[in-house]
Structures are given as structure tokens and as C-alpha cells.
Amino acid sequence: MSALFSPLTLRSVTLRNRIVVSPMCQYSAERGEATGWHMIHLGHLALSGAGLLCIEATAVEPDGRITAGDLGLWDDATEAALKPVLAAIRRHSHVPVAMQLSHAGRKASSHVPWAGGQLVPVSEGGWLPHAPSALPHKAGEEPPLSLDNAGLNRIREAFAASARRAARLGIDALEVHAAHGYLLHQFLSPVANQRTDEYGGSRENRFRFPLEIFDIVRAAFPADKPVGVRVSATDWVEGGIMLDDTIAFAHELKKRGCDWIDVSSGGVSPLQKIPLEPGYQVPFAQAVKKATGLTTIAVGLITDAQHANGLVEAGDADLVAMARAMLYDPRWPWHAAAQLGASVEAPPQYWRSQPRDQKALFGETTLGQR
């Protein structure tokens, strides 16, 4: 069996293979509510053969949305809108479904990417974001509001409430989003956090609020279901987070029962300089895994099956997450399994699609025809 297609168990959840469909923002919700787009988008990815499907960054409160089209889980309406989507997935696929809980912080109130992605001012229908400090993400933008104690308490309860709603929906796992320049990453990074209270300054203080949120989510979600965290290993900018900061943060997460760490990078500053190449973030995942022993997810321009399999086989990471490559080729796991001599789960309606030289691709199948 290839390493990429070996199973992995996280608490009560067993993944059939090590391929993860990354959470990918679709900016297609209405008032935070899932729409027909989510039924189509998540439905076809649920048939991809991946070991885990993660729902996009899901805002825990309206002000925590990146754009007005972000998916949310903050009230009965947003919870109810996800029920038919999940019911369809459960009916036609056995893939475990995770959800990424998020708050955009100072990157909230933005245009969708295909409209430029810039801050939408209040005068043009946007809202004033909240952040650790009153520092804009980009020079020239209106600064966000610095969170006071009441604001911190509101966000704590919002994460807890969303985790409870996710549990009611039957979500199998949660990922706390502490990467890509959003609120929890903003607390972690000196680039965005210049507070002078117990949540700013020293590394220990900057870790405090993200760790509190992890503890809150962990306590609000069923104990037999896993909770992981996505991090940005480095800010790729002077004065920002470095790999040793991330390793220290991962050690703290491990103490608290974190089930995996999803190692990405960047996002907190438009001044970042990122050297893009296939697997460019893998060394970060490798270093975190070696230092902490945490179950680790590698991400970042991993598109080749042999490359992905080699990462798991070598122990550089335990799982490989894919985003854009999965949008381009939603059957990537099928093709990877064919290449590596493995098999994937597929619905019987599709069994006849397997190539003649790949009769074991879908395992034991019956292909009778009157």
C-alpha cells in the first residue's frame, strides 16, 4: 500500500487516506448562509476520493467575515442552511467532513478576490473591522478598531457557539484558523499585534488569546472528535513570525490536546516576499513535526502524486492538503490512486468510468448490465 493511501485515525475519526481537501473560500454565501453553490461545490468534492473534506473558512460572527459573501455559522439561519448540504454529502459519500472556524480580524470587510479584494469602506457598504491593534492591513486603509475586553469576550463566545453548532450539524472535525493574516494570526504576529496588555508584547502574551480560543473550541466540541489548527509558519516579512515561534506555539497546542497542525505561511502583510515553488512550505511542516511529534498537514503547490506520496512516506508530514489543484482536477485522488496502484471509494454510479487497465481502482465492484 502506498503511504498516501494508508488510513489514519484521529480520535474517533478514521480517514481512508492522507489526502485532505483544503478549506477554500468561495465568497458565495448570502448573509452567511450556504447556497446552492455550496451544494454543488462541496457535493462534487465529497466524491473526490479524498480522506477528509474541509469546509471553507466559516465566520463565527458577521463582523468576522472576510467578505459579505463569506460562509458563517453564528445563528439558527446559518446553521439551518448547512443542513441540506451536509445531508446530501452523508447520503452519497462516507468522507469525514471538517469545518474551519475563522474570524477575519482586520482583513474583514473586503471585496471578493475577483473584484480586487481591497477593503470596502463603511461609506461604501462595508463595516469597521476589529483587530488586536488599530493597525491597518495595508497602508492608506482606515485602521480597524482595537479589541477591548468586551470585544475579546464576544469573540470567545462566538467561537464556542459556532463549535456547538458544528457539533449539532454532525461535523466530524474542526480546524481553528490561526493563519493567513486573519484574527488569531494577527494576535500571534508582532506585525499586527502591538498591544501593551497581557495579549501583546512577549511571545507568551501574543500566544495567549489564540490558545484561549483553541481551549474554548476544544471544550465546546465533542471530546471524541478531533480539533486541529492551521498556522502560518512564517510571515515572510521582517519583524514577523519565524519558524521557531511556530514550533513554540505548536508545543503549547500539543499540551492542550491539539490533534493536528496544518502548516501554511504568510498572509499578515502585503509586504511579504514568498519564494513560490512546489512544496515550498513542506520544510515548515517537516520541522514542526520533528520538533513536536504532532500530526502534521503539509500544504503549498503539491500537485504531483509521487511528490505527495513521498512526503508521507518519508515522514515529512502525515497528511497532504490540496486546494487549487483540487479545484482544477476534482478527481485528483482517483488519478493519484491509479498512478500509485491504490484504490479509492467512489459512488457506484461512477464505477463504470474506471479505465480498463485500472480495474482495481474502486476496489471490489460489480459491473453488471442488462
Cα–Cα distances in Å, from 3 out to 22, 230, 319? 19, 23, 10
Identify the H or E element spanning 36: helix 36-46
Listed residue (118, 163, 112, 154) closest to 138, CA to CA: 118
DSSP 164: H
- Round to whole Å and give the CA distance between 94 and 90: 6
Listed residue (213, 228, 244) closest to 318, CA to CA: 228
- Round to whole Å and give the CA distance between 93 and 192: 41
- Round to whole Å and give the CA distance between 190 and 268: 10
State the Cα angle at 281 between 221 and 182, rounded to 5°: 50
Residues 85, 91, 95, 97, Cα dihedral to 10°: 30
Q: Which cell is 179 given? A: 493563519
Residues 56, 59, 63, 69, Cα dihedral to 10°: 40
Backbone angles phi, psi at 44, to 5 degrees: -75, -30
Catalytic residues: 182
Q: Are 233 and 263 in contact (CB under 8 A)?
A: yes
Listed residue (141, 135, 130) closest to 60, CA to CA: 130
